Amino acid sequence: MKKHFKYLVTAALPYANSFIHIGHISGAYLPPDIFVRYKRLNDEDVIFISGSDEHGTAIEMASISEKVTPQEIIDRYHFANKKAFEDLGINFDIYSRTSNKIHHDTAQEFFLNIYNKNILVQKTEKQLFSEKENRFLADRFVTGTCPVCGYEEARGDECSNCGSNLSPLELINPRSKITGDIPVIKESTHYYFPLGDYQEKLEKWLDGKRGWKQNVMNYCKGWLKAGLRDRAISRDLDWGVKIPVEGNDGKVIYVWFEAPIGYISATKELFTERNEPDKWKDYWMNEDTKLIHFIGKDNIVFHSIIFPAMLMAHGDYILPDNVPANEFMNFEGEKQSKSKGTGVLVKDITAKFEPDVIRYTLASNMPENKDSEFVWKDLQVKNNSELAGILGNFINRTVVFTKNKFDNRVPEIISIPETEDGILAFLIRSLRN
RNA sequence: GCCGGGAUAGCUCAGCUGGUUAGAGCGUCGGAAUCAUAAUCCGUAGGUCGGGGGUUCAAGUCCCUCUCCCGGUACCA
Protein backbone atom coordinates (compact mmCIF):
# COMPACT_ATOMS: atom_id res chain seq x y z
CA MET A 1 0.00 0.00 0.00
CA LYS A 2 1.17 3.48 -0.79
CA LYS A 3 2.32 5.32 2.26
CA HIS A 4 0.54 8.57 2.86
CA PHE A 5 2.79 11.44 3.78
CA LYS A 6 2.16 14.79 5.30
CA TYR A 7 4.14 17.65 3.83
CA LEU A 8 5.53 20.47 5.91
CA VAL A 9 6.85 22.97 3.41
CA THR A 10 8.83 26.00 4.51
CA ALA A 11 10.07 28.97 2.55
CA ALA A 12 13.12 30.85 3.87
CA LEU A 13 12.25 33.53 6.42
CA PRO A 14 13.05 36.85 4.73
CA TYR A 15 15.19 39.12 6.86
CA ALA A 16 13.10 42.13 7.86
CA ASN A 17 15.55 44.84 6.91
CA SER A 18 14.76 45.13 3.21
CA PHE A 19 12.01 44.75 0.65
CA ILE A 20 12.08 41.43 -1.14
CA HIS A 21 12.96 41.39 -4.84
CA ILE A 22 12.10 39.06 -7.68
CA GLY A 23 15.35 37.15 -7.21
CA HIS A 24 14.12 36.02 -3.80
CA ILE A 25 10.84 35.02 -5.38
CA SER A 26 12.25 32.86 -8.13
CA GLY A 27 14.77 31.34 -5.74
CA ALA A 28 12.88 30.48 -2.61
CA TYR A 29 9.20 31.38 -2.83
CA LEU A 30 7.71 30.60 -6.21
CA PRO A 31 9.15 27.05 -6.30
CA PRO A 32 7.52 26.02 -3.01
CA ASP A 33 4.30 27.79 -3.97
CA ILE A 34 4.14 25.74 -7.16
CA PHE A 35 5.02 22.58 -5.24
CA VAL A 36 2.34 23.29 -2.64
CA ARG A 37 -0.31 24.10 -5.25
CA TYR A 38 0.46 20.82 -6.95
CA LYS A 39 0.17 18.87 -3.72
CA ARG A 40 -3.10 20.57 -2.92
CA LEU A 41 -4.50 19.76 -6.36
CA ASN A 42 -3.67 16.15 -5.55
CA ASP A 43 -5.55 16.53 -2.33
CA GLU A 44 -2.47 15.82 -0.24
CA ASP A 45 -1.91 16.97 3.31
CA VAL A 46 0.39 19.95 3.06
CA ILE A 47 1.03 23.07 5.09
CA PHE A 48 3.08 25.99 3.85
CA ILE A 49 5.03 28.06 6.38
CA SER A 50 7.04 31.23 6.26
CA GLY A 51 7.49 34.52 8.09
CA SER A 52 9.82 37.40 8.82
CA ASP A 53 13.18 36.91 10.48
CA GLU A 54 13.27 39.97 12.71
CA HIS A 55 16.23 39.88 15.04
CA GLY A 56 19.95 40.32 14.80
CA THR A 57 22.73 42.83 14.46
CA ALA A 58 21.73 44.22 11.10
CA ILE A 59 18.27 45.27 12.28
CA GLU A 60 19.60 46.77 15.49
CA MET A 61 22.20 48.70 13.52
CA ALA A 62 19.61 49.89 11.02
CA SER A 63 17.50 51.19 13.88
CA ILE A 64 20.48 53.09 15.27
CA SER A 65 21.45 54.66 11.98
CA GLU A 66 17.85 55.58 11.14
CA LYS A 67 17.18 56.74 14.69
CA VAL A 68 14.02 54.67 15.00
CA THR A 69 13.18 51.64 17.12
CA PRO A 70 13.91 48.15 15.82
CA GLN A 71 10.17 47.57 16.04
CA GLU A 72 9.57 50.28 13.47
CA ILE A 73 12.09 48.70 11.12
CA ILE A 74 10.63 45.23 11.32
CA ASP A 75 7.04 46.45 11.09
CA ARG A 76 7.88 48.33 7.93
CA TYR A 77 9.38 45.33 6.17
CA HIS A 78 7.23 42.62 7.68
CA PHE A 79 3.96 44.08 6.48
CA ALA A 80 5.39 45.16 3.13
CA ASN A 81 6.82 41.72 2.43
CA LYS A 82 3.70 39.95 3.65
CA LYS A 83 1.71 42.03 1.19
CA ALA A 84 4.25 41.39 -1.58
CA PHE A 85 3.69 37.65 -1.27
CA GLU A 86 -0.07 38.09 -1.24
CA ASP A 87 0.09 40.29 -4.33
CA LEU A 88 1.93 37.52 -6.14
CA GLY A 89 -0.61 34.90 -5.18
CA ILE A 90 1.83 33.12 -2.91
CA ASN A 91 -0.45 31.97 -0.14
CA PHE A 92 1.23 30.68 2.98
CA ASP A 93 -0.90 28.96 5.56
CA ILE A 94 0.81 31.37 7.87
CA TYR A 95 3.27 34.19 7.41
CA SER A 96 4.49 34.68 10.93
CA ARG A 97 7.26 36.71 12.52
CA THR A 98 10.03 35.82 14.91
CA SER A 99 9.26 38.78 17.16
CA ASN A 100 6.02 37.08 18.25
CA LYS A 101 5.83 35.83 21.82
CA ILE A 102 5.16 32.29 20.70
CA HIS A 103 8.47 32.29 18.90
CA HIS A 104 10.41 33.73 21.82
CA ASP A 105 8.90 31.03 24.02
CA THR A 106 9.62 28.26 21.54
CA ALA A 107 13.18 29.39 20.91
CA GLN A 108 13.91 29.67 24.62
CA GLU A 109 12.43 26.24 25.22
CA PHE A 110 14.65 24.85 22.49
CA PHE A 111 17.70 26.52 23.97
CA LEU A 112 16.88 25.29 27.48
CA ASN A 113 16.28 21.79 26.24
CA ILE A 114 19.82 21.41 24.98
CA TYR A 115 21.25 23.58 27.75
CA ASN A 116 19.76 21.25 30.36
CA LYS A 117 21.32 18.27 28.61
CA ASN A 118 24.70 19.94 29.11
CA ILE A 119 25.26 19.99 25.41
CA LEU A 120 26.30 23.62 25.26
CA VAL A 121 29.76 24.81 26.23
CA GLN A 122 30.81 28.24 27.43
CA LYS A 123 33.87 30.08 26.28
CA THR A 124 35.24 33.47 27.10
CA GLU A 125 36.80 35.55 24.38
CA LYS A 126 38.17 39.00 23.91
CA GLN A 127 35.97 41.31 21.89
CA LEU A 128 35.87 44.94 20.96
CA PHE A 129 33.55 46.98 23.13
CA SER A 130 32.41 50.53 22.56
CA GLU A 131 32.07 52.33 25.89
CA LYS A 132 30.35 55.25 24.26
CA GLU A 133 27.70 53.04 22.70
CA ASN A 134 27.80 50.58 25.61
CA ARG A 135 27.87 47.61 23.30
CA PHE A 136 30.10 44.94 21.87
CA LEU A 137 30.80 45.54 18.21
CA ALA A 138 30.09 42.83 15.67
CA ASP A 139 33.05 42.10 13.38
CA ARG A 140 31.57 43.79 10.40
CA PHE A 141 30.81 46.95 12.38
CA VAL A 142 34.43 47.62 13.11
CA THR A 143 36.75 49.29 10.64
CA GLY A 144 40.45 49.94 10.89
CA THR A 145 43.76 49.61 9.13
CA CYS A 146 44.52 46.23 7.59
CA PRO A 147 47.59 44.66 9.22
CA VAL A 148 48.43 42.91 5.95
CA CYS A 149 48.22 45.60 3.31
CA GLY A 150 47.75 48.81 5.27
CA TYR A 151 44.37 49.63 3.73
CA GLU A 152 42.68 52.05 6.13
CA GLU A 153 39.06 51.03 5.63
CA ALA A 154 39.35 47.29 6.28
CA ARG A 155 36.35 45.62 7.88
CA GLY A 156 36.59 43.61 11.06
CA ASP A 157 36.00 40.33 9.27
CA GLU A 158 37.79 40.92 6.01
CA CYS A 159 39.91 43.46 4.18
CA SER A 160 38.03 44.51 1.08
CA ASN A 161 41.30 45.67 -0.46
CA CYS A 162 43.56 42.61 -0.16
CA GLY A 163 40.95 40.00 0.74
CA SER A 164 42.67 38.83 3.92
CA ASN A 165 40.48 37.20 6.51
CA LEU A 166 40.78 39.22 9.65
CA SER A 167 39.71 39.27 13.22
CA PRO A 168 38.68 42.70 14.52
CA LEU A 169 41.36 42.42 17.19
CA GLU A 170 44.02 42.40 14.48
CA LEU A 171 42.98 45.74 13.05
CA ILE A 172 45.27 48.68 13.62
CA ASN A 173 43.39 51.72 14.96
CA PRO A 174 39.99 50.01 15.13
CA ARG A 175 36.90 52.16 15.33
CA SER A 176 33.16 51.72 15.38
CA LYS A 177 31.60 51.93 11.97
CA ILE A 178 28.48 53.49 13.46
CA THR A 179 29.85 56.28 15.62
CA GLY A 180 33.57 56.27 14.91
CA ASP A 181 34.18 55.64 18.60
CA ILE A 182 37.41 53.88 19.52
CA PRO A 183 36.58 50.54 21.16
CA VAL A 184 38.34 48.83 24.03
CA ILE A 185 39.06 45.15 24.41
CA LYS A 186 36.73 43.44 26.82
CA GLU A 187 36.01 39.83 27.61
CA SER A 188 32.65 38.28 26.93
CA THR A 189 31.38 34.80 27.66
CA HIS A 190 29.27 32.98 25.12
CA TYR A 191 27.48 29.72 24.64
CA TYR A 192 28.76 27.49 21.89
CA PHE A 193 26.98 24.72 20.09
CA PRO A 194 29.39 21.79 19.61
CA LEU A 195 28.67 21.28 15.96
CA GLY A 196 31.70 19.00 15.65
CA ASP A 197 30.02 16.43 17.91
CA TYR A 198 27.40 15.95 15.23
CA GLN A 199 29.80 15.49 12.34
CA GLU A 200 29.40 11.73 12.10
CA LYS A 201 25.67 11.74 12.58
CA LEU A 202 25.33 14.41 9.93
CA GLU A 203 27.52 12.52 7.48
CA LYS A 204 25.49 9.40 7.98
CA TRP A 205 22.23 11.28 7.66
CA LEU A 206 23.33 13.00 4.45
CA ASP A 207 24.66 9.77 3.00
CA GLY A 208 21.17 8.35 3.24
CA LYS A 209 19.66 11.20 1.23
CA ARG A 210 18.60 10.51 -2.32
CA GLY A 211 17.30 13.03 -4.77
CA TRP A 212 19.02 16.01 -3.24
CA LYS A 213 20.25 18.64 -5.59
CA GLN A 214 23.90 18.34 -6.47
CA ASN A 215 24.72 21.89 -5.49
CA VAL A 216 23.31 21.37 -2.00
CA MET A 217 25.07 18.04 -1.49
CA ASN A 218 28.42 19.41 -2.67
CA TYR A 219 28.13 22.35 -0.40
CA CYS A 220 27.47 20.11 2.60
CA LYS A 221 30.29 17.78 1.73
CA GLY A 222 32.61 20.76 1.55
CA TRP A 223 31.75 21.75 5.09
CA LEU A 224 32.00 18.21 6.38
CA LYS A 225 35.32 17.68 4.69
CA ALA A 226 36.74 20.77 6.34
CA GLY A 227 35.51 19.51 9.69
CA LEU A 228 32.80 21.10 11.77
CA ARG A 229 33.73 23.37 14.65
CA ASP A 230 31.98 24.75 17.71
CA ARG A 231 29.74 27.67 16.91
CA ALA A 232 28.84 30.57 19.15
CA ILE A 233 25.09 30.78 19.52
CA SER A 234 24.80 33.81 21.76
CA ARG A 235 25.48 37.45 20.99
CA ASP A 236 25.95 40.63 22.99
CA LEU A 237 22.94 42.44 21.70
CA ASP A 238 19.67 43.91 22.94
CA TRP A 239 17.46 43.06 20.05
CA GLY A 240 16.59 39.39 20.00
CA VAL A 241 15.47 36.40 22.04
CA LYS A 242 16.94 36.66 25.52
CA ILE A 243 19.14 33.86 26.78
CA PRO A 244 16.81 32.07 29.23
CA VAL A 245 19.52 31.42 31.80
CA GLU A 246 20.39 33.61 34.79
CA GLY A 247 23.36 35.92 34.55
CA ASN A 248 23.13 36.63 30.85
CA ASP A 249 21.85 40.18 30.78
CA GLY A 250 22.46 41.88 27.48
CA LYS A 251 22.80 38.60 25.64
CA VAL A 252 20.48 37.11 23.08
CA ILE A 253 20.34 33.89 21.15
CA TYR A 254 22.22 34.23 17.87
CA VAL A 255 19.71 35.02 15.17
CA TRP A 256 20.67 32.07 13.02
CA PHE A 257 20.13 29.73 15.91
CA GLU A 258 16.64 30.94 16.65
CA ALA A 259 15.42 31.84 13.16
CA PRO A 260 14.93 28.27 11.86
CA ILE A 261 13.10 27.47 15.08
CA GLY A 262 10.67 30.03 13.67
CA TYR A 263 9.38 27.31 11.38
CA ILE A 264 8.29 25.40 14.47
CA SER A 265 6.82 28.47 16.19
CA ALA A 266 4.89 29.43 13.08
CA THR A 267 3.40 25.96 12.83
CA LYS A 268 2.32 26.18 16.46
CA GLU A 269 0.82 29.58 15.83
CA LEU A 270 -1.04 28.32 12.76
CA PHE A 271 -2.77 25.55 14.65
CA THR A 272 -3.42 27.74 17.66
CA GLU A 273 -5.32 30.04 15.31
CA ARG A 274 -7.22 27.04 14.03
CA ASN A 275 -8.13 26.02 17.57
CA GLU A 276 -6.14 22.82 17.38
CA PRO A 277 -3.26 23.80 19.66
CA ASP A 278 -1.59 20.38 19.67
CA LYS A 279 -1.90 19.58 16.02
CA TRP A 280 1.50 21.04 15.14
CA LYS A 281 2.95 17.90 16.70
CA ASP A 282 1.29 15.89 13.94
CA TYR A 283 3.80 17.51 11.64
CA TRP A 284 6.94 18.18 13.65
CA MET A 285 6.88 14.99 15.67
CA ASN A 286 5.64 12.61 13.04
CA GLU A 287 7.96 10.36 11.04
CA ASP A 288 5.42 10.30 8.24
CA THR A 289 5.88 14.01 7.65
CA LYS A 290 8.22 15.21 4.96
CA LEU A 291 9.83 18.45 6.04
CA ILE A 292 11.02 20.40 3.01
CA HIS A 293 12.96 23.65 3.24
CA PHE A 294 12.93 25.81 0.13
CA ILE A 295 15.75 28.34 0.27
CA GLY A 296 18.26 30.31 -1.79
CA LYS A 297 21.80 29.03 -2.09
CA ASP A 298 23.03 31.46 0.52
CA ASN A 299 21.14 29.56 3.22
CA ILE A 300 22.35 26.04 2.55
CA VAL A 301 24.65 25.61 5.52
CA PHE A 302 22.03 26.71 8.00
CA HIS A 303 19.33 24.40 6.69
CA SER A 304 21.31 21.32 5.81
CA ILE A 305 24.02 21.31 8.49
CA ILE A 306 23.35 23.54 11.46
CA PHE A 307 19.58 23.26 11.87
CA PRO A 308 19.60 19.47 11.40
CA ALA A 309 22.32 19.22 14.05
CA MET A 310 20.19 21.36 16.35
CA LEU A 311 17.22 19.10 15.73
CA MET A 312 19.37 16.06 16.47
CA ALA A 313 20.48 17.65 19.73
CA HIS A 314 16.92 18.43 20.72
CA GLY A 315 15.68 15.03 19.71
CA ASP A 316 11.92 15.49 19.60
CA TYR A 317 11.59 16.72 16.05
CA ILE A 318 11.88 15.29 12.57
CA LEU A 319 14.77 16.26 10.30
CA PRO A 320 14.45 17.82 6.84
CA ASP A 321 13.58 15.41 4.09
CA ASN A 322 15.00 17.68 1.45
CA VAL A 323 16.51 21.14 1.13
CA PRO A 324 16.02 22.27 -2.45
CA ALA A 325 18.12 25.40 -2.80
CA ASN A 326 17.97 27.45 -5.95
CA GLU A 327 20.70 29.66 -7.29
CA PHE A 328 20.26 33.39 -7.85
CA MET A 329 18.36 35.30 -10.48
CA ASN A 330 20.38 38.26 -11.64
CA PHE A 331 18.96 41.37 -13.22
CA GLU A 332 20.09 42.86 -16.53
CA GLY A 333 23.59 41.52 -16.01
CA GLU A 334 23.90 42.49 -12.37
CA LYS A 335 23.31 40.85 -9.04
CA GLN A 336 20.08 41.96 -7.37
CA SER A 337 21.22 43.73 -4.30
CA LYS A 338 19.64 46.06 -1.85
CA SER A 339 22.87 47.80 -0.98
CA LYS A 340 23.76 48.40 -4.63
CA GLY A 341 20.23 49.46 -5.45
CA THR A 342 19.98 46.97 -8.32
CA GLY A 343 17.17 44.56 -9.04
CA VAL A 344 13.40 44.68 -9.13
CA LEU A 345 11.41 44.90 -5.94
CA VAL A 346 8.26 42.86 -5.74
CA LYS A 347 6.24 45.83 -4.56
CA ASP A 348 7.27 47.74 -7.69
CA ILE A 349 6.64 45.03 -10.24
CA THR A 350 3.26 44.02 -8.78
CA ALA A 351 2.16 47.64 -9.02
CA LYS A 352 2.50 47.40 -12.79
CA PHE A 353 1.85 43.80 -13.82
CA GLU A 354 -0.58 41.02 -13.11
CA PRO A 355 0.74 38.34 -10.74
CA ASP A 356 0.32 35.56 -13.28
CA VAL A 357 2.44 37.41 -15.81
CA ILE A 358 5.20 37.83 -13.25
CA ARG A 359 4.88 34.26 -12.03
CA TYR A 360 5.00 32.89 -15.56
CA THR A 361 8.06 34.93 -16.46
CA LEU A 362 9.93 33.93 -13.33
CA ALA A 363 8.85 30.30 -13.44
CA SER A 364 9.91 29.85 -17.04
CA ASN A 365 13.44 30.88 -16.15
CA MET A 366 14.10 29.63 -12.67
CA PRO A 367 17.69 29.45 -11.49
CA GLU A 368 17.52 25.75 -10.71
CA ASN A 369 21.05 24.71 -11.61
CA LYS A 370 22.84 27.95 -12.12
CA ASP A 371 22.25 31.64 -11.79
CA SER A 372 19.76 32.92 -14.34
CA GLU A 373 19.06 36.30 -15.79
CA PHE A 374 15.98 38.46 -15.73
CA VAL A 375 15.61 41.18 -18.35
CA TRP A 376 12.57 43.42 -18.81
CA LYS A 377 12.42 42.56 -22.50
CA ASP A 378 11.77 38.98 -21.47
CA LEU A 379 8.73 39.90 -19.47
CA GLN A 380 7.40 41.89 -22.40
CA VAL A 381 7.92 39.01 -24.81
CA LYS A 382 6.47 36.40 -22.50
CA ASN A 383 3.46 38.55 -21.81
CA ASN A 384 2.74 39.75 -25.34
CA SER A 385 3.77 36.78 -27.37
CA GLU A 386 3.34 33.75 -25.19
CA LEU A 387 0.53 34.64 -22.81
CA ALA A 388 -1.54 37.13 -24.80
CA GLY A 389 -0.64 35.91 -28.29
CA ILE A 390 -0.46 32.16 -28.15
CA LEU A 391 -2.48 31.23 -25.07
CA GLY A 392 -4.89 34.17 -25.15
CA ASN A 393 -5.56 33.83 -28.82
CA PHE A 394 -6.14 30.12 -28.50
CA ILE A 395 -8.77 30.63 -25.84
CA ASN A 396 -10.40 33.58 -27.55
CA ARG A 397 -10.44 31.78 -30.86
CA THR A 398 -12.07 28.73 -29.33
CA VAL A 399 -14.75 30.80 -27.69
CA VAL A 400 -15.49 32.90 -30.77
CA PHE A 401 -15.52 29.82 -32.95
CA THR A 402 -18.00 28.18 -30.66
CA LYS A 403 -20.14 31.28 -30.65
CA ASN A 404 -20.22 31.76 -34.39
CA LYS A 405 -20.25 28.24 -35.68
CA PHE A 406 -22.09 26.35 -33.01
CA ASP A 407 -24.81 28.77 -32.21
CA ASN A 408 -23.42 29.97 -28.91
CA ARG A 409 -23.37 26.48 -27.51
CA VAL A 410 -20.63 23.98 -26.73
CA PRO A 411 -21.22 21.16 -29.20
CA GLU A 412 -21.56 17.57 -28.12
CA ILE A 413 -18.45 15.47 -27.94
CA ILE A 414 -18.02 13.21 -30.92
CA SER A 415 -15.55 10.38 -31.04
CA ILE A 416 -12.72 10.89 -33.46
CA PRO A 417 -10.87 7.99 -35.12
CA GLU A 418 -7.34 7.42 -33.87
CA THR A 419 -5.53 6.56 -37.08
CA GLU A 420 -4.45 9.17 -39.59
CA ASP A 421 -6.45 7.54 -42.34
CA GLY A 422 -9.47 7.50 -40.10
CA ILE A 423 -9.09 11.17 -39.25
CA LEU A 424 -8.70 12.03 -42.91
CA ALA A 425 -11.82 10.12 -43.85
CA PHE A 426 -13.64 11.77 -40.99
CA LEU A 427 -12.66 15.23 -42.18
CA ILE A 428 -13.68 14.54 -45.74
CA ARG A 429 -17.07 13.33 -44.56
CA SER A 430 -17.49 16.39 -42.38
CA LEU A 431 -16.67 18.72 -45.25
CA ARG A 432 -19.21 17.10 -47.54
CA ASN A 433 -21.98 17.56 -45.05
C1' G B 1 45.18 31.08 -1.43
C1' C B 2 41.84 26.88 -0.56
C1' C B 3 36.97 24.40 -1.64
C1' G B 4 32.69 24.20 -4.88
C1' G B 5 29.89 25.63 -9.27
C1' G B 6 29.41 27.65 -14.19
C1' A B 7 30.76 28.78 -19.64
C1' U B 8 25.83 25.25 -25.21
C1' A B 9 22.46 29.44 -31.54
C1' G B 10 22.01 36.83 -31.91
C1' C B 11 19.17 36.70 -26.65
C1' U B 12 17.18 33.71 -22.37
C1' C B 13 17.78 28.67 -21.38
C1' A B 14 17.11 22.63 -21.76
C1' G B 15 20.32 18.57 -22.58
C1' C B 16 19.51 11.80 -16.66
C1' U B 17 23.60 7.04 -15.78
C1' G B 18 28.75 8.98 -22.58
C1' G B 19 25.37 6.32 -28.04
C1' U B 20 22.23 7.83 -34.38
C1' U B 21 22.28 14.39 -38.40
C1' A B 22 23.12 18.98 -30.33
C1' G B 23 17.28 21.01 -28.72
C1' A B 24 13.22 24.91 -27.10
C1' G B 25 11.22 29.84 -26.88
C1' C B 26 12.13 34.60 -28.67
C1' G B 27 14.62 37.22 -32.49
C1' U B 28 16.19 36.79 -38.25
C1' C B 29 14.62 35.66 -43.13
C1' G B 30 10.65 33.60 -46.40
C1' G B 31 5.73 32.09 -47.02
C1' A B 32 0.32 30.99 -45.65
C1' A B 33 -4.41 31.56 -43.61
C1' U B 34 -8.90 34.63 -41.96
C1' C B 35 -12.21 30.39 -37.25
C1' A B 36 -9.10 34.28 -33.80
C1' U B 37 -6.85 39.99 -30.21
C1' A B 38 -2.09 45.44 -33.48
C1' A B 39 -3.46 38.22 -32.47
C1' U B 40 -2.23 33.14 -35.55
C1' C B 41 0.13 29.18 -38.49
C1' C B 42 4.11 26.81 -41.50
C1' G B 43 8.98 26.73 -43.16
C1' U B 44 14.37 28.75 -43.30
C1' A B 45 19.11 30.07 -41.82
C1' G B 46 22.10 30.14 -37.50
C1' G B 47 26.36 26.46 -32.88
C1' U B 48 34.62 23.80 -34.12
C1' C B 49 28.86 22.85 -27.05
C1' G B 50 34.98 28.73 -23.44
C1' G B 51 40.67 27.18 -25.37
C1' G B 52 44.06 22.92 -25.49
C1' G B 53 45.23 17.79 -24.49
C1' G B 54 43.61 12.72 -23.14
C1' U B 55 40.41 8.06 -22.29
C1' U B 56 36.83 5.38 -25.58
C1' C B 57 34.29 1.86 -31.09
C1' A B 58 31.68 6.51 -29.51
C1' A B 59 32.54 12.80 -25.53
C1' G B 60 28.37 18.79 -24.77
C1' U B 61 28.44 14.49 -21.27
C1' C B 62 34.33 11.14 -18.24
C1' C B 63 39.85 12.66 -16.92
C1' C B 64 43.91 16.56 -17.03
C1' U B 65 45.16 21.59 -17.97
C1' C B 66 44.40 26.87 -19.13
C1' U B 67 41.22 31.38 -19.40
C1' C B 68 37.10 34.14 -17.68
C1' C B 69 32.66 34.61 -14.31
C1' C B 70 30.06 33.31 -9.67
C1' G B 71 29.48 31.40 -4.62
C1' G B 72 31.65 29.82 0.14
C1' U B 73 35.76 30.34 3.34
C1' A B 74 32.62 29.63 9.75
C1' C B 75 30.62 37.08 13.81
C1' C B 76 26.16 39.22 7.00
C1' A B 77 21.69 37.04 7.10
Kindly tell me if the per-residue pLDDT of A2 is higher than 60: no
Confidence (pLDDT) at A339: 67
Nucleotide nearest to A327 (CA to C1'): B71
A122 phi, psi to nearest 5 deg? -110, 140
Confidence (pLDDT) at A346: 92
Confidence (pLDDT) at A211: 78
Residue type, position A128, single letter: L
Residues 229-288 of A with CB under 7 A from strand B: 229, 231-232, 235, 255-256, 259
Which residues share a beta bridge with A330?
A: A373
Confidence (pLDDT) at A427: 64
Rounded to an integer, the average pLDDT of A355-359 is 90
Q: What's the CA–C1' distance between A327 and B6, in Å?
A: 11
Quick: pLDDT tens for A223-249: 888 888 889 999 988 899 999 999 898
Residues 354-383 of A with CB under 7 A from strand B: 365, 367-373, 375, 378, 381
Task: Provide the domain limits for residue A396.
Answer: 377-432
CA–CA distance, A168 with A143 (Å, rounded to integer) = 8
Residue type, position A204, single letter: K
Confidence (pLDDT) at A423: 65
Position A222 in a domain: no
Confidence (pLDDT) at A432: 61
Rounded to an integer, the average pLDDT of A375-403 is 85
CA–CA distance, A121 with A366 (Å, rounded to integer) = 42
Position A418 in a domain: yes
Residues A298 and A383 in one domain: no
Nucleotide nearest to A299 (CA to C1'): B77
Position A269 in a domain: yes
Strands (E), A206-315: 231-232, 234-236, 251-253, 289-296
Q: What's the CA–C1' distance between A67 and B11, in Å?
A: 46
Question: What's the structural domain count of chain A?
Answer: 2
Kindly tell me if the per-residue pLDDT of A284 is higher than 90: yes
Residues A357 and A384 in one domain: no
Is there contact between A227 and strand B, defined as CB under 7 Å from any strand atom? yes
Residues A354 and A413 in one domain: no
Confidence (pLDDT) at A292: 93
Position A157 in a domain: no
Residues A44 and A67 in one domain: yes
Residues A358 and A426 in one domain: no
Most confident of A4-13, A105-114, A351-360: A105-114
Position A209 in a domain: no
Q: What's the CA–C1' distance between A240 and B39, in Å?
A: 56
Q: Which of A50-59, A144-153, A379-388, A423-432 has the lowest mean pLDDT?
A: A423-432
Kindly tell me if the per-residue pLDDT of A72 is higher than 50: yes
Kindly tell me if the per-residue pLDDT of A1 is higher than 90: no
Residues A327 and A381 in one domain: no
Nucleotide nearest to A332 (CA to C1'): B12
Residues A336 and A410 in one domain: no
Confidence (pLDDT) at A386: 85
Rounded to an integer, the average pLDDT of A94-99 is 96
| Prediction ipTM score | 0.84
Residues 395-424 of A with CB under 7 A from strand B: 395-397, 400-401, 404-405
Is there contact between A146 and strand B, defined as CB under 7 Å from any strand atom? no
CATH code: domain of residue A324: 3.40.50.620
Confidence (pLDDT) at A234: 92
Residues 166-205 of A with CB under 7 A from strand B: 190, 195
CA–CA distance, A415 with A327 (Å, rounded to integer) = 47
Nucleotides on strand B with an atom closer than 7 A to protein CB? 1, 3-7, 11-15, 25-27, 35-37, 39-41, 70-77
Nucleotide nearest to A306 (CA to C1'): B74
Q: How confident is the model at residue A389 (pLDDT cuts 50, 70, 90)?
A: confident
**Dihedral angle computed from the Cα positions of residues A233, A236, A238 and A244, in that order, rounded to the nearest 10 degrees:** 50
Quick: pLDDT tens for A104-124: 999 999 999 999 999 999 998
Residues A271 and A368 in one domain: yes
Position A241 in a domain: no
CA–CA distance, A188 with A62 (Å, rounded to integer) = 24
Residues A29 and A83 in one domain: yes
Position A287 in a domain: yes
Quick: pLDDT tens for A391-420: 888 888 888 888 888 888 887 776 666 666
Confidence (pLDDT) at A419: 65
Asked if A257 and A103 touch (Cβ cutoff 8 Å), the reply is no
Share of chain A above pLDDT 90, in %: 41
- DSSP states of A138-187: PGGGEEEE-TTT--TTEESSB-TTT--B--GGG-EEEEETTT-PPPEEEE
Position A153 in a domain: no
Domain limit, last residue, from A329, A350, A373? A373
Residues A282 and A367 in one domain: yes
Confidence (pLDDT) at A431: 60
Q: What's the CA–C1' distance between A362 and B75, in Å?
A: 34
Residues A427 and A392 in one domain: yes
Q: How confident is the model at residue A178 (pLDDT cuts 50, 70, 90)?
A: confident
Residues A298 and A328 in one domain: yes
